[in-house]
Amino acid sequence: MQVSQIIIILIVLISLSIPCYGGNSDLFVPWAFNNPGPEEKVEASSSLPGHLLTQGVKIFIKYISPVDGDRCPMHPTCAAYSLQAIKKHGAFLGFIMTADRLIHESNEMDYAPLVKVGDRHRFYDPVSNNDFWWYDRNSLDK
């Protein structure tokens, strides 16, 4: 076996073990804006890809975000937005919407209204503002 094949197998095995992590389910996040509010609580996804994506985002929130610092100028934050998009639209569209937001984040700041969250001003861009493009306009007007 080549080294690259061994590395790929190890990555797959590690990624499969992530949902089995039995640590404390409470997320430690030093910034209150990363925690979804009561109306935005994220439930476990029923699909395996959705569950894996959700666990990946939660790992990012728990381990990377505290070290990386507060970088997202949006509300909800990029991680919270990703969890909401995956919950609302499933793994595939949730992933696409998250990637789209990350790619177009600077453009959104030109159009999104400012809201005060805690002691900072952020640009308000919820999931509901970005899922219009696959709904039939006629059904929304009724």
Residue 47 domain boundaries? 25-141
Answering whether pTM is above 0.85, one says: no
Count how many domains the chain has.
Answer: 1
Q: What pLDDT was estimated at residue 83?
A: 94
pLDDT for the residue 81: 93
> Is residue 104 assigned to a domain?
yes
Kindly state whether residue 34 falls inside one of the protein's structural domains: yes
Tokens describing residue 81: 């937005």
pLDDT in tens, the chain (142 residues): 788 778 888 777 666 555 444 444 444 444 444 444 444 454 555 688 889 999 999 999 999 888 888 888 899 999 999 999 999 888 898 999 999 888 888 787 888 889 998 888 999 989 888 876 666 555 555 5
Sheet with 74-75, edge to edge strand ranges? 74-75, 120-124, 114-117
How far is residue 36's CA from residue 78's CA, in Å, rounded to a whole number?
11
Instruction: Identify whether 16 is part of a domain.
Output: no
| pLDDT attached to residue 104 | 83
9 inside domain: no
Phi/psi at 139 (5° precision): -75, -25
